[in-house]
Amino acid sequence: MSESRPAVLFVCVHNAGRSQMAAGFLRAIAGDRVDVYSAGSEPADQVNQVAVGAMHEVGIDIVGQTPAILTTDAVRTADVVVTMGCGDACPVFPGKRYEDWELQDPAGLPLEDVRPIRDDVRARVERLVTSLSV
């Protein structure tokens, strides 16, 4: 974690859809004012291609991202941990700020059903940025 900027970790089960979209939005909105990480408790082999397409529609490229395994060190590094359905697999450390975003998993959904999830993620990330005061 940088002394001058907060670190945010987005966590979902497969780190292929919701958390990747959230990380993409946070990078686009906050730029280098926030350190952005994402991980999954059971990471997929690749990012959900429908999520990639949904993000492309709003000008954000997440095609080069790779799902990563959630580690204790990643949680320890983060100032804010945003979980999205990983349940008990997410380690909890005292003194960390946690948010649990209840979002539908886009896995297996067509693009028209992923768009509202994407838009919900964007609104939540915008609120998060405001709360970080960056």
DSSP H helical ranges for 6-107: 18-30, 49-57, 72-77
- Give the E-state strand segments of the chain in sequence order: 7-12, 35-40, 80-84, 97-100
Catalytic member of 8, 9, 11, 12:
12
Active site residue 90: yes
Catalytic member of 50, 90, 109, 114:
90
Active site residue 86: yes
Active site residue 30: no
Strand partners, 7: 35
Catalytic member of 84, 86, 109, 114:
86
Catalytic residues, by residue number, are 12, 86, 90
